[in-house]
Structure 1
Amino acid sequence: MFKSLVRKTTPLIAFGVGLAAFPKEWRKGQFSDRKLLVINDSVLDQIKSTDTFKTLLANPDLKHYNSSNKFPDQHHHNYVNTGLLFGPDMMEIDPIVFIDEKKGELTSFYHLGDKLISQDGQIHNGIVSTILDEGLCSAGFPLLPSKKGVTARLSIDFKNQAPPRSTVVLHAKVKDAKGRKVVIEGYLETLPLNKDEKPLLIAESKCVLVEPKWFKYFSWLQV
């Protein structure tokens, strides 16, 4: 009985200790105002000039933000898109996100530099996997009871490899939401920058997002 109690309480205690050690700004959700993180202004201008972007921007039902605004400054170095892989010839713009939180529909834009390639000279599939995981989960979070969860399963069907220096767009949509479980499907493709160009499908994905039972005790936490 004692061992069972230890197994059940240790994760909760460890989480509480870790939370207490977090910066005050994280615990209170008081993120500082900051400018958009951009290294390649020309890419940002190209994205904003596309019909896809203009249509999303004109939709009043969509919330519009940049990925870095979801994390406090002190944790940026641990975040992939605007930290670990952000820089010249890597992730050169702060990913742009449009989301309908009620429907669980999300569209986000990225730019992949040529330092993110694998041995074959194309964008590494690990980068694509990370984008899909984070993007699909972001679409599903608002439909969970506490708006927080973890990836229980992620499946990816790679269709083509993304070329270096490509601008890509992620489309994600919640297919089923029941209680503490949300199923999201999505795909990643290149973004055509002119009307004569066709998108290249890079990968399709399905994610099962779940909210652990003990998350409800930390519903006040802004993450």
Structure 2
Amino acid sequence: MLRAQLRPKVVTPMALMRRAYTQPPQARRRVGYGTMGTTVIASSCVAYFVGVHYPPRWNPFLFMRTKHEIHGADKLSDSEYCAAVERRMHELPFVKQLQAHSFDAPSAKRVKAAAGVPETGEGKSKEEAHYYAVRPFTNLPPERLEHNLTGSTLRGRDRFAVTPLVFSKTEKGAADLGGRVGDGYAIIHIGRDISGFEGVIHGGMIATLFDEALARSAMHALPNNIGVTARLDINYRRPVPVDQFIVIETQIIENAGRKAIVKAELRDVDSHTVLAEADSVFVEPKMAKFMKWVGGLNVKRMLEE
């Protein structure tokens, strides 16, 4: 009995509220409304900030956040903002890691120079590199890009501020690291204006980004480096926040004749959490072998420059 009397009495917030509304008005004034309110507010704030950094699976939309917003973006012109995004891309640890084992194609060198990205001298020679670093769309004349969705129409501030930075595996890379020539990574910055749900990239745009990244790898595996999408299956695993960098890893699974099977994963560039997956089949048109003769189209050179 004595031990029970000495045991401290725990008062829960629910019990405190019940006591406040069952006692007469004179007694209610003595109840610690200030303490209870402070506890509820503090608990809510802690729960929200924990949710932001560790979004729960049951409601990730409530805790959406931007992670790579450019500091002082409102004071920058459109061209300055795009250049700042380019410099920020080359500061990412994942990009630095790949860059140290890559050879910069002419397109990659031009884009870096235009944005003022300093040369670190960490890249490999063309013969020793595991990857080619290339920038799609930059070799094409403006008239060829006029009606291109991701290369022109959606280019600009708060959309696709910079062209994708693509690392494609070389023959030496495939020999040393495994995989196949053409496997690689595409690092992409997605702006806030490419949303479906507010703050989340549109699911159709994810399909477009997958299609372009997968096609680049598939063309390495096809006989004449030309192919069209025959099938594209996507598994959306988690919402993808906008205003950040993402990475799409592609891997050639099989190629036989005019068909190539390629899979890909879209990941968070920092945590490498898989946000979406894709499986695809690309088929080379029967007339593809004649395209090199008519017009002198050399897709392989375009993929490496």
Task: Give your verdict on TM over 0.5.
Answer: yes
User: Which shifted more, 54-63 or 83-92?
Assistant: 54-63
Alignment pair present for 1:205 and 2:270: no
Alignment pair present for 1:139 and 2:221: no
Match of 1:40, SS?
A: helix
Instruction: Structure 2 unaligned segments of length 5 or more: list them.
Output: 1-78, 102-128, 172-179, 300-305
Q: TM-score, normalised by structure 1?
A: 0.75
User: Which shifted more, 37-46 or 162-171?
Assistant: 37-46
Q: TM-score, normalised by structure 2?
A: 0.56
1:47 to 89, 110, 123: 89
Give the distance between the partners of 1:78 and 1:190, measured in 2 at CA.
Answer: 30
2:131 to 28, 50, 62: 62
Match of 2:158 in 1: 89
Q: Which amino acid aligns with 1:42?
A: A
Q: Which has the higher contact order (CA 8 A, sep 6+)?
A: 1
Give the distance between the partners of 2:266 and 2:170, measured in 1 at CA.
Answer: 20
Q: Which amino acid aligns with 2:190?
A: L
Match of 2:89, SS?
A: helix
Identity of aligned residues (%): 26
Structure with greater strand percent:
1
Instruction: Structure 1 unaligned segments of length 5 or more: list them.
Output: 1-36, 193-197
Q: CA deviation at 1:55?
A: 2.1
Q: Which amino acid aligns with 1:206?
A: D
Q: Contact 1:68/1:76 (CA < 8 Å) preserved in 2? A: yes
Q: Which amino acid aligns with 1:171?
A: E
Q: CA deviation at 1:202?
A: 1.9
Match of 2:143 in 1: 74
Deviation beyond 4 Å, 4+ runs, structure 1: none
Give the distance between the partners of 2:224 and 2:160, measured in 1 at CA.
Answer: 30
Match of 1:218 in 2: 291
Q: Which amino acid aligns with 1:95?
A: P
Which structure has the larger Rg?
2
Instruction: Give RMSD over aligned pairs.
Output: 1.9
Q: Which amino acid aligns with 1:222?
A: N
Q: Contact 2:82/2:156 (CA < 8 Å) preserved in 1? A: no
Q: CA deviation at 1:71?
A: 3.0
Total equivalences in the alignment: 182
Q: Contact 1:39/1:87 (CA < 8 Å) preserved in 2? A: no
User: Which shifted more, 167-176 or 210-219?
Assistant: 210-219
Q: CA deviation at 1:141?
A: 0.2
Q: CA deviation at 1:119?
A: 3.6
